[in-house]
Amino acid sequence: MIDRILENLYLSDVQDVLNEFRIDRLKNELKISHVLTVAAEGIPVEKQIVGISYMFIYALDTNTQNMFADNLLANALMFIRTSFENNGRVLVHCEAGISRSVFIVAAYLMQKLQWSSTKAIEYIQRIRPIALPNDGFMQQLQIFESCHFIADIQIISQCQLYKNWLLNISSASSARFPLYKKLPNLIDSTWSNVEYRCRKCRKILFNDKHILTHKTMTSRNVTGNEETGIIDCGFGHFITPMDWMSLNEHRGKVIFFWGQKV
């Protein structure tokens, strides 16, 4: 079923794009000019309608699917905006029209109308009751909101909320930091305030923007008595994986090129 979300913006499942009995409606009745597919597979060439522009974004409906990496979200939003600038009509779809496509449409509403993630999802659900992005997508919409609706990975990757989200989903996975590879591995003094160097060669290893804060439940006051609370842990640092890291042979210790422990 195709639902009209805004003027010239529609949301559906894949059958509305593939089914031969529904496909004619796209161009002849709805006058769709652009189709955005957010799924594991794109629309086969033989199923594409002449005169309609197609864009495919590879994404799985999982809690760990990173929609900021490779500027997936940024590119999707650009496709929608460009379509409207050319007086087009856009259909966004995924497999069932429940999660992935709803995430993209919600992000567009948030950016265009300066809405919160909650308001955008509730608006879509009033039109399409089955709309329900997975938890990972909902968290990424909150990150998008906290970054003032900017989807550029170079900016998002500096957001502490985004880095904490990556840490959480990586900790829940058996793979070693599979989603960190798109974090900028930049050592730029204009990009940070504090630099951390190798104590042997003094090469800059990382900066404060690569540090992932984490909380501890207890602390001690000035008299030495233990108090209960939630504070930033000061025992050590979690950092985003860097190109120079070698962990496999050293039981988790961070080793630089010289064999020197950091």
Regarding pTM above 0.85, the answer is: no
pLDDT at 256 over 60: no
Backbone angles phi, psi at 67, to 5 degrees: -90, -5
Whether 212 maps to a domain, the answer reads yes
What pLDDT was estimated at residue 247?
45
203 and 126, same domain (yes or no): no
Residue 178 lies in a domain: no
- C-alpha torsion 4→9→14→17, nearest 10: 100
The residue range of the domain holding 110 is 3-171
Q: What mean pLDDT comes out for the span 83-105?
A: 97
Q: Which of 140, 171, 202 finishes a domain?
A: 171
Give yes or no: residues 152 and 189 share one domain. no
Distance CA 187, CA 192 (A): 8
Please state, in angstroms and rounded to a whole number, the distance separating the CA atoms of residues 134 and 128.
16
| 143 and 199, same domain (yes or no) | no
pLDDT digits (tens, 9 = 90+) for 189-207: 455 567 777 766 766 777 7
Residues 52 and 154 in one domain: yes
96 CB burial (10 A radius; 0-12, 13-18, 19+) = middle
Q: Report yes or no on 179 lying in a domain.
A: no
Confidence of residue 259 (pLDDT cuts 50, 70, 90): low
Residues 17 and 86 occupy one common structural domain = yes
| Residue of 103, 226, 247 whose CA lies nearest to 92 | 103
Q: Is 123 a domain residue?
A: yes
Residue 111 lies in a domain: yes
> Which DSSP letter does residue 190 get?
G
Q: For 31-48, write each residue's pLDDT tens digit.
A: 999 999 999 999 999 999
> Can you tell me the mean pLDDT for 100-123?
98
Mark which of 171, 193, 224 sits at the end of a domain.
Answer: 171
Exposed e or buried b per residue across 143-175, where buried means at least 16 C-beta atoms within 10 angstroms of its C-beta: bbbebebebebeebbbbebbbbbbbebbeeeee
Q: Are residues 100 and 54 in the same domain?
A: yes
Query: Is 144 part of a structural domain of the chain?
Result: yes
Together in a domain, 195 and 163: no
Give me the CATH number covering residue 55: 3.90.190.10
Q: With respect to residue 177, please indicate whether it lies within any of the assigned structural domains.
A: no
Domain final residue pick, 171, 206, 239? 171
Same domain membership, residue 125 and residue 54: yes
Residue 261 per-residue DSSP state: B
Phi-psi domain of 148 (left: phi exceeds 0; alpha: psi -120 through 50; beta: other): left
Q: Is 94 a catalytic residue?
A: yes
Q: Is residue 176 part of a domain?
A: no
How far is residue 183's CA from residue 69's CA, in Å, rounded to a whole number? 8
Q: How many domains does the chain have?
A: 2
Are 127 and 199 in the same domain? no
My answer on whether 220 and 163 are in the same domain is: no
- Taking residues 51-56, report their average pLDDT: 96
Same-domain pairing of 60 and 165: yes
Within this chain, do residues 76 and 115 fall inside the same structural domain, yes or no? Answer: yes
Comparing C-alpha atoms, which of 206, 164, 165, 214 is closest to residue 188? 206
